[in-house]
Structure 1
């Protein structure tokens, strides 16, 4: 696939305050050539290279090498068979990742039992893939997170409103959580419950798209929810929909808002503000996911994937999917 690159210029060290917003410097670091493309999720390798999944039009995994550099390179790594799109991605161990795929049938409805979890390895500089498990009990898989020092991953089912635990060695999968906080909101035009999911310090955090909220719940060392524990609300944001998110060193959440075309920063005290984009701008139009860089050059850079406003045009315009770099260092 042909691509075009927009090189990252020097980033301003301070954020720009605009009304109720605090807008951080944002620049495109990569953009596809074709509209109708949808980049869904993003992970960062230890060497700093980005891994990006495509939901549409094909189930492909891409890499953007050295995203912080003028010599960055974008390339296709693999296209998965018997799938129409890729979703969440997470690192399970050093340079090993788990990825979710889906097979959509007529009318864009998931084909029953067609979703799969795959393993991808870069060990010894050799790229390999393997099927971990079929997800027969998952309606629409979305986000995925690994549990450190275990073979377990937890994945979200946005339509079923559940969290499934999968052992990446044995392939055994089981639903481990279903709560009001993980389910779609009743009567919503687009019923989407739990979306992004991430592990940190003994807890799992997840976004609920319809509830536009971030929740937290403790889990044990194998990824099972702690008995008698209940989900805790971190905060609710002012948006119609939220997608995946990333958390920084100060435990601030940076949330992709999809058709709201923004990135929202959510503090632990529940307060929030827009830090990139707007409803009427293409800056992060159709934002889908976010991840922080891992090198000295970009540890405070938030990389955001988009779908180019494919679901709701911006002033009548759509654009090819892209990756945006946002400098979150601000004036602090």
Structure 2
């Protein structure tokens, strides 16, 4: 399979050159390829971050573990276990092989959080792919911390923004001092989970409400400078983890219980969507939880994380171990 992928890479370069000059991206693979898959059902990959060498680091929700993924070799290694939490969720890179990871206690069947159990950790990975984890801050006021995105880097620290689904709030956290505060709170953020910053806007999904939106923010303080804009409100789509194209024209999104990846045109006024992989009855990417875009030379790869369909089995019965899949764009 790896050899076939290598041959495909050279074959699609003309297509990729065309795609880079048009809004959005075209899919160059006929189907996703598996990068790495666990061996047991019940596994759940929550989120993905890029490593400096274009490998991946992931968080797991079924266990409080951080893993590294070697995308060329198709191998995975346990980096660290954060035993103070039962589940790990959001992750964001704050420096070379340094990440903020969100942990807490969840019922993975009902997705009900244990209020007050959430915290933020700094995970540092060494050259042998082993990691250390140290507590940045426990945030007992939080209801359900989920996504985290790197917001601002200064000479002394890095600030991140963290979503709180229960409070409909965004926390700003100083990753050096551990100080934190709510910088945005709005009914429109009820259920907020995944976050990304781009072009002075904080993009977000709220999975239970099935919406995708953005809000302009002050790049110094993190507070909102305008109203929330709802980009997508389609009750037939379950919006979950997403990635933004580097040119800001497209969002790639996992649809969680609907087993597909969609694109959302951010430039068009009506923000049309398009399914680029999967479907409600597809077993290719059962239970996609998030996606991560990696630019490698002249082309990009979209990596897809799954929970194997354990939240909503495909066709009512199909489940498989969680995996990382890849798609050439």
Q: TM-score range by the shorter chain?
A: 0.7 to 0.9
1:230 aligns with 227
Unmatched 5+ residue regions in structure 1?
1-5, 16-20, 184-192
**In the superposition, relative to structure 1, how do residues 108 and 212 fare at CA in structure 2: closer, same or farther (>3 Å)?**
closer
**In the superposition, relative to structure 1, how do residues 24 and 164 fare at CA in structure 2: closer, same or farther (>3 Å)?**
farther
2:145 aligns with 141
Secondary structure (helix, strand or coil) at the match of 1:293 reads strand
1:117 aligns with 120
Q: Higher helix fraction: Structure 1 or Structure 2?
A: 2
2:258 aligns with 260
Equivalent residues of 2:79, 2:125 under 8 A apart: no
**Which whole-Å CA distance do the structure 1 matches of 2:49 and 2:176 have between them?**
21
Equivalent residues of 2:261, 2:275 under 8 A apart: yes
Select 2:67's aligned residue among 51, 62, 65.
62
1:244 aligns with 241
Secondary structure (helix, strand or coil) at the match of 2:258 reads coil
**Which whole-Å CA distance do the structure 2 matches of 1:287 and 1:35 have between them?**
15
Secondary structure (helix, strand or coil) at the match of 2:305 reads strand
Structure 1 position 9, deviation (Å): 3.5
**Which whole-Å CA distance do the structure 2 matches of 1:208 and 1:317 have between them?**
26
2:181 aligns with 174
1:128 aligns with 132
Equivalent residues of 1:46, 1:294 under 8 A apart: no
**Which whole-Å CA distance do the structure 1 matches of 2:275 and 2:30 have between them?**
9
Secondary structure (helix, strand or coil) at the match of 2:194 reads strand
Unmatched 5+ residue regions in structure 2?
17-25
State how many pairs are aligned.
303
Please say which of residues 118-127 and 134-143 is displaced more in the overlay.
118-127
**Which whole-Å CA distance do the structure 2 matches of 1:73 and 1:110 have between them?**
31
Select 1:203's aligned residue among 181, 197, 201.
201
Structure 1 residues 101-144: Cα deviation after superposition (integer angstroms, max 9, x where no partner):
01237986433322110001236777332100001121111110
**In the superposition, relative to structure 1, how do residues 124 and 301 fare at CA in structure 2: closer, same or farther (>3 Å)?**
closer
**Which whole-Å CA distance do the structure 1 matches of 2:131 and 2:257 have between them?**
35
Select 2:4's aligned residue among 4, 9, 12.
9
| 1:43-82 correspondence to structure 2 within 5 Å | 43-56=49-62, 58-65=63-70, 67=71, 69=72, 71-82=73-84
Secondary structure (helix, strand or coil) at the match of 2:296 reads coil
